[in-house]
């Protein structure tokens, strides 16, 4: 159940992150693409207006009547207002003399139909894009019909005449194209988002499953180590009991006057006083700064002149174990055995030692064998 909630939260988090990023990304990409389309439209309109104006001026310079020129231009541009860009011609008074929609011929040009005020003005893509965004909101659903929503974006005077060629942009159609472009971007983003989110969740699940397996294996190893340590501590208790029984048997044999080769005590020093200590009273022996210390079970501390090697050779090795170069420990002083580092053992003794007693990986097996495991 906890895993399912984790995957759910991961899915929700990735989805929210993608929505936040895509909100800004789609705006950026649509604006960039729309500006590119508008720039292209403005360049085409500018070239078309100039070519038409120069062509008409050339015809006028060759003596072709104006009426014939207007009839030819009208025939060539008729119904072109359904495209994204088209041209019209009007005179200096603002009267339309050529228009793709013949119903507009003879009408007076309104200043509201143009976003430029003079021939020298140029329309930027940003200005036209802002206008298109307003026009896009006015587009109605249904089949495309003739619309009078256009803006003059270029003007070019016809040489040797009082005519002006105007380049129009069909704002309704161009706004619809940008709207379609936005929808395409949105659809692509949704598909990519679905694939991205789904693949991310799958990857999280795969990685999570592998990590869970690693944790399970680690927990199994820890469980095995705990079981082994439990067995080891149980073995220590059993061994301590056997040592106690062995001591009692030894004491009975001593009481009966039998000979024994086991060392009964060692000589130590407390300051300048010579103190014999019975073997069974020793908790552990350690060396520090070349000095050998003997710690009794009651916590009393004394020193010995012998090295650890010499003392260990004189002790009963069924009762004492050489833990490392610094410590000799008695079975009766072991309080607990703990796992330490990489397959090492840490021995807790009583009375407590100021220095950790660590049995290395190589001596751990010997220690277990010493405990008869």
69: exposed, middle or buried (Cβ count in 10 Å: 0-12, 13-18, 19+): buried
C-alpha–C-alpha distance, residues 48 and 52, integer Å: 6
pLDDT number for residue 25: 79
Specify whether 146 is located in the same domain as 290: no
What average pLDDT is seen over the chain?
A: 80
Please give the tally of structural domains in the chain. 2
pLDDT number for residue 328: 94
* pLDDT tens-digit map of 89-120: 988 888 898 988 888 888 887 655 555 555 55
Specify whether 186 is located in the same domain as 324: no
Q: How confident is the model at residue 11 (pLDDT cuts 50, 70, 90)?
A: confident
Q: CATH number, domain at 299?
A: 2.40.50.40
Domain range holding 125?
A: 2-195
Q: How confident is the model at residue 140 (pLDDT cuts 50, 70, 90)?
A: very low
Main-chain dihedrals φ then ψ at residue 163, nearest 5 degrees: -95, 155
Domain boundary among 179, 195, 211: 195
* pLDDT tens-digit map of 232-251: 777 777 776 766 666 666 55
Main-chain dihedrals φ then ψ at residue 305, nearest 5 degrees: -80, -20
Q: Show Cβ contacts of residue 264 under 8 Å, excluding neighbours closer than 6 positions.
A: 278, 279
Q: What is the mean pLDDT of residues 187-202?
A: 83
Domain boundary among 195, 219, 253: 195
pLDDT number for residue 302: 93
Q: Show Cβ contacts of residue 89 under 8 Å, excluding neighbours closer than 6 positions.
A: 56, 70, 73, 96, 97, 98, 99, 158, 163, 164, 165, 166
The position carrying tokens 């990986």 is: 361
Specify whether 168 is located in the same domain as 68: yes
Q: Is 326 helix (H, G, I), strand (E, B) or coil?
A: coil
């Amino acid at each position: 159940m906890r895993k399912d909630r984790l995957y759910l939260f991961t899915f929700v988090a990735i989805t929210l992150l993608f929505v936040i990023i895509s909100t800004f990304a789609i705006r950026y990409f649509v604006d960039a693409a729309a500006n590119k389309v508008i720039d292209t439209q403005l360049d085409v309109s500018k070239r078309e207006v100039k070519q038409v104006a120069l062509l008409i001026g050339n015809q006028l310079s060759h003596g072709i009547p104006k009426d014939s020129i207007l009839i030819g231009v009208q025939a060539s541009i008729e119904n072109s207002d359904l495209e994204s860009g088209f041209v019209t011609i009007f005179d200096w008074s603002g009267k339309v003399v050529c228009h793709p929609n013949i119903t507009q011929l003879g009408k007076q040009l309104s200043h509201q139909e143009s976003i430029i005020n003079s021939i020298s003005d140029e329309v930027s893509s940003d200005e036209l894009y802002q206008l298109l965004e307003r026009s896009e909101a006015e587009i109605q659903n249904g089949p495309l019909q003739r619309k009078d929503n256009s803006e003059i974006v270029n003007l070019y005077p016809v040489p040797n005449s009082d005519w002006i060629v105007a380049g129009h942009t069909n704002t309704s159609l161009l706004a619809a194209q940008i709207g379609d472009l936005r929808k395409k971007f949105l659809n692509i983003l949704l598909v990519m988002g679905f694939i991205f989110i789904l693949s991310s969740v799958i990857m999280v699940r795969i990685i999570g499953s592998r990590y869970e397996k690693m944790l399970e294996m680690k927990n199994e190893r820890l469980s095995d180590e705990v079981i082994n340590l439990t067995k080891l501590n149980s073995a220590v208790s059993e061994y301590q009991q056997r040592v106690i029984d062995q001591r009692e048997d030894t004491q009975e044999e001593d009481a009966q006057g039998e000979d024994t080769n086991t060392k009964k005590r060692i000589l130590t020093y407390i300051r300048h006083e010579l103190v014999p200590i019975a073997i069974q009273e020793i908790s552990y022996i350690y060396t520090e700064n070349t000095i050998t210390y003997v710690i009794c079970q009651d916590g009393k501390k004394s020193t010995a002149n012998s090295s650890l090697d010499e003392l260990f050779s004189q002790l009963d090795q069924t009762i004492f174990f050489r833990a490392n170069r610094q410590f000799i420990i008695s079975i009766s002083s072991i309080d607990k055995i703990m796992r330490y580092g990489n397959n090492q053992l840490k021995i807790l003794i009583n009375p407590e030692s100021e220095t950790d007693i660590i049995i290395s990986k190589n001596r751990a097996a010997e220690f277990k064998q010493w405990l008869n495991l």
